[in-house]
Each structure stands twice: as structure tokens, then as C-alpha cells.
A and B are shown apart, each in its own frame.
Chain A
């Protein structure tokens, strides 16, 4: 039987509430610094929940003015993260190589800011026309296409939209494209910029948003804590460079880890309620795909939204898959710091998982002050850990719609 091709991660890029480059992001996440705060928008006084993980971002730091004005914020994030990742990987491709390089990007909401601002012109201000590029800024696949155009990557270019699991699916599917030999290089990740008045209102109505912490707004997201009240919306993007391992090693590329396995399942049950069974199966599938035993997982980046149901069921699903080892493997939810960035969440958290390997350190779950007897794993409460052995990591994403996606990466052993 022919050996499966292997896939390395050779570059990372990030735009997030906890930093707009990998080193700031890493420093903040590992030391438990929250990027959640009161939002600055003019409509905030109309909202019952006024907190989010907002990105502090000036598009002109990354893009010429002319290009920036034709892009929604979500596309700007994606291009900025992709440019960092490409630079980090020291990636340069010849014409033929570009035909065997592609882009898979996850996004739940696409150009939400543009749709809101332009429809607002129509509905509230009776405008008779709206921005000519509205269609091209709003479409969900714009971010992936802009990355493909920017770098001339002419292999497959897809957009994955599976809500909170979008970018985990995007990275997993991109991984398979390389492993199965269709391409050699992929830029994969996710992007989301949906902090609009309409979004906040929609999420508010769904009654899943965290109440603001009365003492400190930045401490409002409390995954796995008994006093958790829900999720905090966030925005951002993360892109990774995936590369066939032989190619990466031949050119002496920096290698963060080998992407080893991917599992994806659907609950096929309920549009919003998470399922223990579906989550557990996705973890088992990823382990099987990676050829890794549960006892070999050194860290799990949890989906950990801080809703009552997610955190309880994810804990139970981890126990179901990991058995006794569930109590030994550190599990943290970095959403406690960057919020729930939806279509970008999986990619951002995959980056976190890779950084645990790079730094041999673990980020904490912050705001975990009141242990929940039903959530009784090692969530790395409040304080990160240094000098730990991290070889193999798992990153979980469980979405509305019932899609579950899990990635497993391992420190490279050649």
C-alpha cells in the first residue's frame, strides 16, 4: 500500500482581539490576558450586552487604500492573516507550483459589516442606491478568492461555512487535499467580522450571550466555571500554511508541527443543541485518522464556548473518548480571552494549539473561579503553564447546525 503523504504546518498568521501578530497573540494567550471589553460602537447603548472581543485593526497597515476600500472588514482580516502566514513560512512559489496550491477559508457570516451598512442606507435612510461593490464584498467566498488572487494560487479555492466549525473544517479539508495528492501547498484558515448591531441583536435574542461581569467586563466569558452565563462574540482571522512535508523539509521551511488527523461528523439531530455523541465521534474519528491513542494527547483546545450546554457536553464527550486519561489531559478554552470568533474560531484555536507545541506551554482558561462539579477536568484554570511536555494536541470545534470538527497535530518527528 502506498504511504499517505504527510502534511506540515509551516506558517501562521493571526488577527485577533488578543493581538494582530503571532508573537503578541502568543504572549497574551499564554499569560491569560483577555481581549474582551466593552464595545466602542455608537449602537452599544441600545444593547443589553455591550461586550465583545473586538479587533483593533487599521486596514491601511496591511493594504493600499485603493484596495482596502473595495474590501469588507472580513476580507481585510483574511488578507492580513494570509500575508503574515506566507511571510512566516518564507513561502515562494513558481508558476507551476501555484497551480498545485490552493486556498480554503472558513467564514460563517461573510461580509456582515457591508450588508448591514448598505441595507441600513436603503431601509433607514431611503437611499436610492448602495455601494457598487456590495455584492462582491458581501459574498461569503470573497475572502478565499482575494487570497487566491493576491498570491496567484490557482489550485482549488473553496469557502467552508459550518458556523463555529468553519475554519476547522477548512483546515481539515485542505489537509486532505495535500495528503491525497491533489495539491502540495494550501493556505487555510478562517475569518469573521460580524460585530454589527444586527448580529448583536440576533445573538441577544437567542439568549446565549454572557452577561457582563459586574466588576470587570474583560472577565465576562467564564468557560467551565459554575457561574458561566454564555458566550462572548468576537472577531478575527487566522491562516496557516499547509505544505507536503517533503517539500517543506527540502526547502528548510520552519515547521510548527505535522497536521496528523482530522475528524468531522454531523449530529444529524438538532440545529442548535449540541450532542455528546456527535462531539465524541468527531474526536474519535480524528484520533483514528491521526493513528494516535487518546493517552498520547497532551493538550486539548476545547470548543469551550461558556454556554451551559456546550461546556457540560464537551466535558462528557471528552470523558467518553478519553476514559481515565480525560482527567490527566489539560483542556483549556481560550475563548475565555478572545471570545467566540465563529468562522475564525477553529483556525485561531488551531494556532493556539500549535503554539503550545512551539513554546511547550499551555494557555489557561481564564475566569474559572467557581468549579462546576459536573465540569471536573483539568481546564488549566486561570494560570498558564510553562515547561510542560507537549507533543500531540487536539483542537475541537462544535457548531450550530450540528457539524463537529477536530484537528490533531504533533511535533514533527521525521
Chain B
């Protein structure tokens, strides 16, 4: 599940690395969205709001559960205030970096 990050420390350019991480988070979220809600990938633009996509509060709670499984993170109650898909990507990346331990953690990279 974490292979997207495993090559990051070996990548010379931190900027490219960050973008690749983002791309892959977005893609993985898109896959989750499509699996669960039958969306078309073209509907899942980073700027699309969850409201626009028709997700209600229960859908969001269910989706948080799937995100936790996919990214091996725990999303604390009250800490997933996202409006757009990009917000979701950012939040997931933040939780991943906060909650991961080990040399390949993005948090560790930025400390380097």
C-alpha cells in the first residue's frame, strides 16, 4: 500500500517527489471514489466539491472509512473538514506523513 512513497528518499528532486506523491494520492482516491460510488473519472477533478458530487454526510463518513483502510491511517473525529477533492488529497497526505514512522516518511524527508 505504501509503495508510492518508498522511492521518495531516493529521488533527487523533492519538488517532483512531492508532486508524484500528490498524483498518486489523487489517483488512489479516484479509484476509491469509482469503486464505491460509480463515478466517471472525468467527474473527479481536484477542484470538484464533495457537495457537487452529491455526497451527503453519511457518504462522507463511509468514505473516510475506506480512506483509512486504503492509506493505513486513522482519521480522528472532527479532523476531516474537506470541501474539494484536492482538500481530501492534502488531508490524506498530512495524515499519512504525521502517522507514518520510518525512514521513507515524507515528514522525515522534509526534516532532512
Contacts of A64 in B (CB 8 A): 38
- Whether a CB of chain B sits under 8 angstroms from the CB of A65 is yes
Q: Chain A residues with Cβ under 8 A from B37's Cβ?
A: 65-66
B58 close to A133 (CB less than 8 A): yes
Segment at the interface with A among B60-68, B79-87, B99-107: B60-68
Please give, as numbers and ranges, the residues of chain A lying within 8 Å of B64 by CB-CB distance.
132
CB contact between A70 and one of B38, B58, B68 (< 8 Å): that residue: B58
A136: nearest residue on chain B (CB-CB)?
B58
User: Smallest CB-CB separation from B66: which chain A residue?
Assistant: A132
Whether B45 is near chain A, meaning CB under 8 Å from some CB there, is: no
Whether, in the assembled complex, A129 has its beta carbon less than 8 Å from a beta carbon of chain B, the answer is yes
In this complex, the member of B64, B65, B68 whose beta carbon has the largest number of chain A beta carbons within 10 angstroms is B65
Please tell me if B36 contacts chain A, counting CB pairs below 8 Å: yes
Size bracket, chain A contacts: 10 to 19
B34 CB to nearest chain A CB (Å): 10
Known: A69-B36, A132-B58. 8 other contacts (CB 8 A): A65-B36, A65-B38, A69-B62, A131-B62, A131-B65, A132-B65, A133-B58, A133-B62
- Chain B 2-24 per-residue mask, 1 if CB under 8 angstroms from chain A, else 0: 00000000000000000000000
From residue B55, how far is it (CB to closest CB) to chain A in Å?
10
Chain A residues with Cβ below 8 Å from B65 are 129, 131-132
In the bound complex, CA of A66 to CA of B36 (Å): 6
Interface mask (A121-140 → B, CB under 8 Å = 1, otherwise 0): 00000000101110010000
Report how far A133 CA is from B37 CA in the complex, Å. Answer: 15
Question: Please, which residues of chain B bring their CB within 8 A of the CB of A136?
Answer: 58
Per-position binary interface string of chain A over residues 102-144, scored 1 when its CB falls under 8 Å from any chain B CB and 0 otherwise: 0000000000000000000000000001011100100000000
User: Number of residues in B with C-beta < 8 Å to the partner?
Assistant: 9
Cα(A69)–Cα(B36), bound, Å: 8
Residues in A173-219 with C-beta less than 8 Å from chain B: none
What DSSP secondary structure best describes chain A's contact surface? loop
Cβ contacts B49-76/A at 8 Å (1 or 0 each): 0000000001001101100100000000
**B38: which A residues are within 8 A, CB to CB?**
64-66
Complex contact A132–B62 (CB within 8 A):
yes
- Taking a contact as CB atoms under 8 Å apart, the answer to whether A129 and B68 are in contact is yes
Question: CA of A410 to CA of B64 in the docked complex: distance in angstroms?
Answer: 53
A-B contact pairs, 20 of them (CB 8 A): A64-B38, A65-B36, A65-B37, A65-B38, A66-B37, A66-B38, A69-B36, A70-B58, A70-B62, A129-B68, A131-B62, A131-B65, A132-B58, A132-B61, A132-B62, A132-B64, A132-B65, A133-B58, A133-B61, A136-B58
The interface residues of chain B lying within 8 Å CB-to-CB of A129 are: 65, 68
Bound together, the chains give a CA A70 to CA B68 distance in angstroms of 18
A375 to B38, CA, bound (A): 55
Q: Which residues in B have their C-beta under 8 angstroms from that of A131?
A: 62, 65
The 8 A CB mask of A62-80 against B (1 = contact, 0 = none) is: 0011100110000000000
Nearest CB on A from B98, distance (A): 18
- Measured in the bound complex, the distance between the Cα atoms of B58 and A44 in whole Å is 35
**Min distance, Cβ A290 to any Cβ of chain B, angstroms:** 44
Chain A residue at minimal CB-CB distance from B64:
A132
- Which residues of chain A have C-beta atoms less than 8 A from B62's C-beta? 69-70, 131-133
